[in-house]
């Protein structure tokens, strides 16, 4: 019993001696601190040295460097945590859908129907209109919304639509509008209509893309 107590007392003395030495001789740790700032780029060595210095209580100066070192240390740990959370973000952003086992669209995009829709909308809105900048600006936006709503009403599942409308003044100028698409021609399609009257022309395009 006494021997155990003595061993314990010896151990405590050793620890005390260590702490006292750190308190009295903080300068002995300074070379370590200098090396820390030099090897800051090496995170492993940095963290190892950091662990060594955290255990000490010390002078004001050393504490400042310690805090500075700590921020460096915290930066390196955050970079490790980023990877799993990045994966979570990615899987959260994309909607995970189950397999449908469908090879193609069950209902294809009805090009002819949409052609008629475009013709009706453009004719109704623009038959008697004259070209005016303000009016046509509003008209383009309205017509795209109307066409989009009407195409959505057709309820064609798994299709995404893009509606583009160009309205221009009929003049002696020349204009060329071209488009090219990279898609699957078996499932995707587009529909187009040009309307002309005395003072203006209008071109409406609807692109339908199947969601695979």
Partner 1 sequence: MRSLLRAWVALPFSLPVGFNAEEAHNIVKDCVDGVLGGEDYNHNNINQWTASIVEQSLTHLVKLGKAYKYIVTCAVVQKSAYGFHTASSCFWDTTADGTCTVRWENRTMNCVVNVFAIAIVL
Select the residue interacting with partner 1 from 15, 44, 182, 198 (CB under 8 A): 182
CB of 101 to partner 1, least distance (A): 14
Select the residue interacting with partner 1 from 21, 37, 123, 171 (CB under 8 A): 171
First and final C-alpha spacing in the chain: 78
* 141/209 Cα distance (integer angstroms): 22
Interaction of residue 111 with partner 1, rule CB under 8 A: no
* 52/159 Cα distance (integer angstroms): 61
Residues 21 to 60 in contact with partner 1, rule: CB under 8 A = none
Please, which residue, 61 or 145, has the CB nearer to partner 1? 145
Name, in order, each residue with C-beta under 8 angstroms of 188's C-beta and a sequence gap of 6 or more: 109, 181, 207, 208, 209, 210
Interaction of residue 155 with partner 1, rule CB under 8 A: no
CB of 171 to partner 1, least distance (A): 5
Q: Which of 141, 210, 157 is nearest to 181 (CA)?
A: 210
* 112/104 Cα distance (integer angstroms): 20
Q: Which of 71, 73, 117, 104 is nearest to 210 (CA)?
A: 104
What tokens were used for 44? 């492993």
Select the residue interacting with partner 1 from 61, 124, 181, 196 (CB under 8 A): 181
Interaction of residue 136 with partner 1, rule CB under 8 A: yes
* Site pattern 67..96 for partner 1 (x: CB under 8 A): --------------------xxxxx-xxxx
Element (H, E) at 43: helix 43-54
Judged by CB under 8 A, the stretch of 18-26, 29-37, 54-62, 158-166 that binds partner 1 is: 158-166
CB of 75 to partner 1, least distance (A): 24
Residue 195 CB neighbours (<10 A): 18
DSSP 8-state secondary structure symbol assigned to residue 161: E
CB of 192 to partner 1, least distance (A): 11
The footprint of partner 1 (CB under 8 A) covers 87-91, 93-97, 131, 133, 136-137, 139-141, 143-145, 147-148, 151-152, 160-169, 171-184, 188, 205, 207, 209, 211-212
């Amino acid at each position: 019993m006494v021997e155990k107590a003595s061993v314990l007392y010896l151990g405590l003395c050793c620890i005390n001696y260590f702490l006292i030495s750190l308190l009295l001789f903080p300068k002995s740790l300074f070379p370590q601190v200098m090396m820390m700032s030099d090897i800051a780029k090496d995170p492993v060595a940095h963290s190892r040295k950091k662990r060594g210095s955290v255990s000490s209580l010390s002078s004001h100066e050393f504490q400042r460097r310690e805090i500075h070192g700590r921020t460096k240390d915290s930066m390196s740990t955050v970079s490790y945590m980023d990877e799993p959370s990045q994966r979570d973000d990615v899987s959260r952003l994309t909607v995970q859908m189950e397999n449908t086992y469908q090879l193609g669209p069950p209902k294809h995009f009805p090009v002819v129907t949409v052609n008629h829709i475009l013709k009706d909308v453009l004719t109704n809105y623009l038959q008697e209109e004259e070209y005016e900048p303000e009016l046509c600006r509003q008209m383009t936006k309205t017509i795209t919304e109307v066409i989009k709503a009407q195409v959505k009403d057709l309820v064609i599942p798994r299709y995404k639509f893009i509606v583009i409308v160009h309205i221009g003044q009929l003049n002696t100028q020349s204009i060329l509008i071209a488009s090219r698409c990279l898609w699957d021609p078996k499932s995707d399609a587009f529909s187009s209509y040009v309307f002309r009257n005395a003072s203006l022309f209008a071109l409406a395009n609807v692109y339908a893309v199947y969601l695979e």
